């Protein structure tokens, strides 16, 4: 927690290169996350960890919380920067720093805690999906959220196992672990609360051009966006409340 009167400071651990579209419209993924999470009077910085830019031990102490972004890389992979990120996350855990993991960030955070991440048994999940919040947790009690929230998804990997010390907070008909929490300081969300529909549409086009998805997956993903609206304000409230210690 930040001391009273001290400016709160947060860092985005960027795990992906910015697409031309997101860079042009939002100032990059850092701009997208700041747009969702930042509040007046805070300082937000970015570390491009996918390019080897990590905070030093001295810099870690400056921050009240960290956000790990999505990525095109596999969270179960052993790229040098991913291995270094795992070491950093274990250090942040030991320091009780607030860490919010999104998509890849959710998966790599689970891996750092001893969980298992692998290719999703049911394949790609792209589009707007209904997320079922756990009724057995007290995590959301202050927020008065509905039992189900719509969320934009775009992933082909998933968290398959978590240690018993970690609490599963949400699931869907596609993914068993959509959200988890460890203590009061670590939380992962498989979907993309920061995404707008236009970002996902551009990403679908990009995945198609690179032959990473089949046409029917793209069609299904686009159709889900026509039929459903993501509950962006509710997810913003949930994520900011966690990161700022208001849950």
Q: Catalytic residue, from 103, 106, 155, 178: name it.
A: 103
Check residue 2 and report its DSSP letter: P
Give the distance from CA 192 to its chain's centroid.
6
In contact, 163 and 109? CB cutoff 8 Å: no
Is 103 a residue of the active site?
A: yes
Residue in 153, 158, 178, 194 annotated catalytic: 194
Which candidate, 223, 234, 214, 81, places its Cα nearest to that of 144?
A: 234
Residue 192 is a catalytic residue: yes
For residue 38, give every residue at least 6 positions away whose Cβ sits within 8 Å of its Cβ, in sequence order, or none: 10, 44
Task: Measure the CA dihedral 184/178/102/49, to 10°.
Answer: 90
Q: Which of 155, 158, 192, 239 is catalytic?
A: 192
Q: Known catalytic residue: 106?
A: no
Tokens of 189: 């969300």
**Catalytic machinery residues:** 103, 192, 194
């Amino acid at each position: 927690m930040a001391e009273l009167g001290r400016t709160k400071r947060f860092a985005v651990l960027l795990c992906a290169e910015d697409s031309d579209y997101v860079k042009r419209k939002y100032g990059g993924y850092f701009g997208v996350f700041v747009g969702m999470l930042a509040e007046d009077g805070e300082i937000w910085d970015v570390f491009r960890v996918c390019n080897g830019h990590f905070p030093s031990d001295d810099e870690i102490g400056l921050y009240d919380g960290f956000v790990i972004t999505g990525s095109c890389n596999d969270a179960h992979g052993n790229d040098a920067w991913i291995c270094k990120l795992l070491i950093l996350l274990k250090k942040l855990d030991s320091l009780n720093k607030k860490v919010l993991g999104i998509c890849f960030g959710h998966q790599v955070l689970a891996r750092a805690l001893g969980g298992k991440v692998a290719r999703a048994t049911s394949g790609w999940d792209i589009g707007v999906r209904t997320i079922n919040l756990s009724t057995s947790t007290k995590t959301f009690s202050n927020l008065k959220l509905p039992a189900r929230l719509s969320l934009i998804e775009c992933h082909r990997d998933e968290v398959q196992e978590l240690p018993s010390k970690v609490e599963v907070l949400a699931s869907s008909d596609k993914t068993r672990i959509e959200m988890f929490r460890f203590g009061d300081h670590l939380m992962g969300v498989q979907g993309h609360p920061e995404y707008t529909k236009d970002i996902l549409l551009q990403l679908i086009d990009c995945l198609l051009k690179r032959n990473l998805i089949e046409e029917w997956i793209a069609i299904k993903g686009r159709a889900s966006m026509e039929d459903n609206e993501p509950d962006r304000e509710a997810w913003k409230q949930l994520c900011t409340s966690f990161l700022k210690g208001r849950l």
